[in-house]
Amino acid sequence: MSDVSDVQQIVARSADAVGLHATAPAQLLELQTQLGALAAAATAATERGRRPFRPTPDWSARLAELAYGIYLLGDQTGVDIAREVMMTAHALQRRAEVAGPQAGWPFDAS
């Protein structure tokens, strides 16, 4: 198995420095809260879907906080997130090459 990514190591060090570690279930609840905040921002920005979505000034920071939390959960549970994301991306690309893009949302069939 490869070493964890630089990003995951940086996240782990920063979490150690400020005491952000928690159990995996607690981290999942925090991720759910962060995802909800992103959804609320998108809903507000589109006036409940009546307007096209344009990222707001705080969008990148909110998205980064969600990604940070995912890397932190990976650290807590022993998962190299960057490696798994790359493996998923490669598998999806292979699937698209075989089935074509009309195959639908790829995460429905696991």
Q: What is the pLDDT of residues 38-96, one digit of tens each?
A: 999 999 999 999 999 999 898 999 999 999 999 999 999 999 999 999 999 998 888 88
Report residue 51: phi and psi, to 5°. -125, 155
Distance CA 30, CA 83 (A): 23
Nearest to 73 by CA among 108, 40, 107, 34: 34
What's the predicted TM-score (pTM) here? 0.81
45 within 8 A of 53, measured Cβ to Cβ: yes
Mean pLDDT of 13-21: 91
Residue type at 59? W
Is the pLDDT at 2 greater than 50? The verdict is no
pLDDT of residue 93: 86
31 with 77: CB under 8 angstroms?
no
User: Do residues 64 and 7 make contact, with C-beta atoms less than 8 angstroms apart?
Assistant: no
